[in-house]
Structure 1
Amino acid sequence: MFHTRSTDNPLLKHAGLPYFPLAFIARLPFAMMVVGVLTLVVAERGSVTLGGLNSAAAGLGTALAGPLLGAAVDRWGQRKVLVPVGLLNATLLGAFILVVSSSAADAVVLALSVLIGASAPQVAPLSRTRLVAIIKRHVADDRREKTLSGTMAYESAADETVFIVGPFLVGLLASAIAPWVAIAGASALTFVFVTAFALHHTGQVDPGTDSTPVEPAPVRELLRFPLMTVVVGTLGVGFFFGATLTSLTGFLAADGDGDRAGLLYGVMGIGSAVLALGSAALPQRFTLRARWLVFGSLLLAAAVAFAAARSVTGLVVALAILGLGIGPTLVTLYSLAAQLSPTGRSATTMTMLGSAVVVGQSVTSAVTGLLADRLGPTTALAAPAVCAAIVVAAAVAHTLSARPRAGAQDLVPA
């Protein structure tokens, strides 16, 4: 996506090369949140069910507050919102360690989990918002579509990597030192890197800080059916992440190898990140709708193979193929969201998708865990296939809704 010389690339020129590692590290706490809360609660309270409920509570908080934070960013700008929200979230994560290890009631722990999710700084969607704004302002029309595709590919690959690395870090810190260290690390990363991300000069390019702001589209534009199908598809991806990691952990734990889940899960992340980056090279005639259908169907087929696997070798092969489907699918969903975003609602749109991923991961982490406990780990392996079917169903609904009708305009901008 990027050339080595920043002066040749308007995106690198205006964002700066250090921006990208900063934005990558700043999104790590968000990926660590759900698994970190689950791990700490299970370790301190001795209840897997309570741990799952707290993960779901964090996801609920994100679902409730994420789009509201996006709307606030669209109105006031990223700096004015991200700095106080990031500091609040870092404080709440630190307090969570003390509350969970105290004699506080379970309801208090659940309430704090909701607040942690609600205050989680969604760096990934806000990074997309910044880069899209730079592309629209500084990239020539003939290069804009290719640059946008490459940027969404990079961002999705970064997300894929973070959602693999985040849980892996939690597991590594929890097993090597103590479960509370993972939450403490997330708090420190939020305090330092999210604040640095908020204060980065690219935070001034979003609509909320534009010297000549554009009147934002009505909120009802966010509820248009084509955009909502993209949100549902992204929710399905979140469902898939949670179901895959949890079912894999349950299957391996049955043989006493549960601690290997993060390593095997990384097999999916490798193919996913590579093909996500490679999707920028796909020809433009291979439309976004077609990509969603094709790669979503590949995801579903591999998920069926994952459900049928009864050996570690079978699971590894299925995970490798799953990565080839999930990466390009996520790139496509964010690219469609960038195209369908109503005027002045870019941050809201991107945070809706970011919230959908975390909510989906939280819900299916809890549900798949219950399936594994009550119906057995092999039954739980079918959960990712159900989630992949949701992604494909949303793709079909989106394609049908976008068909030209008499007297109607195409819903996807050229």
Structure 2
Amino acid sequence: MTQTHAPASASLLRHAGLPYFLIAFIARLPFAMMVVGVLTVVVSARGSLSLGGLTSAAVGLGTACFGPLLGAAADRFGQRRVLIALAIANSAMLVAFTLVVYGAAGDSLVLAAAVGIGATAPQVAPMSRSRLVAIINERMPEPQRARTTSGTMAYESAADETVFVFGPFLVGITASLIAPWAPLIGAAVLTLVFVGAFALHPSGRHVSAERDEDGRAPSTVSELFRPQVVVVVVGILGVGLFFGTTLTSLTSFMADRGAPEEAGLLYGVMGIGSAVLALGVAWLPARFALRARWLVFSGVLLLGSLLLSVVATPAGMAGVLAIMGIGIGPTLVTLYSLGAARSPLGRSATVMTMLGSGIIVGQSIGAAVTGEIAQRLGTPTALLLPAAAAAIVFVAGILNVSSRASH
């Protein structure tokens, strides 16, 4: 059990160390590569886009079902033991999946192996947030904690955005230069090396001082379902729906113009802008409360989403995506900051993995529904769905204010 007193002056970088941030950043890459890598190898080996989509969704299903349980295990037993086990198991599942896809196994086994990949996916991003928040709360002077937490969530969200833009790009490069199976084998190696290094980093020994000597939390499981926490989960589920509906409807938009492969480039306009604006949240004044940030930036997101239905050219689409990027990055930072502030005592990793799983679930549902609607009803109808997802985020922000649960 680690318990330390905050020094008179300190910085998170000094406490965690620069190598920590480098390792934690690279350790996120395999997760960003998995869904696209699975889709790529299934379509190549099995020749079925439909099976590829189902398999990608199966990865998300495994993550959504087991992510919060892995967070709870990390809270109970410490991150080190959980992450080491996951690094080994996930690397093995990635290799096993590749062998199954290229073998003679039926589609059901392919889907089961995909669920296994998602179920064993190391939750590096949520656990990094939990680890850093614990260090801030236990080792830094109280006057510095709020601003440092906001800056940390801004950095973490920007890192996620960067990785989820670069990850699919890396999959495309390695699949083109080597073979379709290369991204998954590469992800297996990265997982074993860098997730293992993340687990073995000295901060991995840190267990929240809020835990008892036997590892039990002073809070109950029921506290994870308080309205103050649930409204944040609903908000971040809406963000996941937004990601899934936007990328899929954008792909349909570009496919109508004969260039579906350029959808990722346009999507990157929003991703890059979102990452930059996410970092900028750290400089917002404290009087601009989190409840207000949620409403303001999700309002910008909703406005930009409504403009999608009137766009007729790729250039116009890029402009609208840039507007949406202004809203999505700060909204994501705000939601994670609220999640950190409202986590029941001793259950920070659980809440963070709940939020991370909410994004994955929303993204999977959004992509599946939007793909079906685009195929049946056409692109104009599909382009309405990002606005519906943004509306969920905005309405959750209104409920957050009305519940008087904001921080």
Match of 1:383 among 376, 382, 385: 385
Output the CA distance in 2 between the equivalents of 1:367 and 1:173: 29
Give the TM-score of the pair, scaled to structure 2: 0.94
* Match runs of 1:391-402 below 5 Å: 391-402=393-404
String of CA shifts for 1:372-393, please: whole Å, max 9, x gaps.
2222233322221121111112
Matched, 1:245 2:255: no
The answer to whether residue 378 in structure 2 is matched with residue 351 in structure 1 is: no
* Contact in 2 for aligned 1:340/1:412 (Cα 8 Å): no
Q: Which residues in structure 2 correspond to 1:246-325 (within 5 Å)?
A: 246-325=248-327
Task: Determine helix, strand or coil for the equivalent of 1:27.
Answer: helix
CA offset digits 1:86-121 (Å, max 9, x no partner): 110111011111111222111111111111111110
Question: SS of the counterpart of 1:179?
Answer: coil
Contact persistence 1:237–1:357 (CA under 8 A):
yes
Distance 1:232 1:66 in 2: 16
- Report what 1:143 is aligned to: 144
Residues 56 and 362, structure 1, Cα contact 8 Å, conserved in 2:
yes
Aligned residues: 399
Q: Is the 8 A contact 1:76 1:208 kept in 2?
A: no
Unaligned segments of structure 1, at least 5 residues: 1-6, 403-410
**Corresponding letter in the other structure for 1:326:** I
Q: Does 1:159 align with 2:192?
A: no
Number of the residue aligned with 2:343: 341
Indicate if the aligned counterparts of 2:125 and 2:156 stay in contact, CA closer than 8 A. Answer: yes
Q: Summarize the Cα distance change of 1:48–1:241 in structure 2 as closer, same or farther, 3 Å threshold.
A: same
> Alpha-carbon deviation of 1:309?
1.3
Match status 1:125 vs 2:111: no
Instruction: Report the CA distance between 1:161 and its aligned residue.
Output: 1.1
2:92 corresponding residue in structure 1: 91
CA-CA distance at 1:336 after TM superposition: 0.1
Provide structure 2 residue ranges, at least 5 long, that are not aligned to the other structure: 1-7
Identity %: 60
1:185-200 correspondence runs (5 A): 185-200=186-201
| In structure 2, distance between residues paired with 1:287 and 1:33 | 36
TM-score, normalised on structure 1?
0.92
Q: What aligned pairs does 1:38-57 form with structure 2 within 5 A after superposition?
A: 38-57=39-58
**Cα displacement (A) at 1:203:** 0.8
Mapped to 2, the partners of 1:270 and 1:206 lie a distance apart of 34
Q: Deviations over 1:177-208 (max 9, x none)?
A: 43222212211111111111111111112328
Correspondence list, 1:219-238, <5 A: 219-238=221-240
CA contact (8 A) 2:9 2:141 kept: no
Shift of 1:253: 2.3
* Distance (whole Å) between structure 2 residues aligned to residue 186 and residue 217 of structure 1: 36
Offset of residue 9 of structure 1:
4.2
CA RMSD in angstroms, aligned pairs only: 1.8
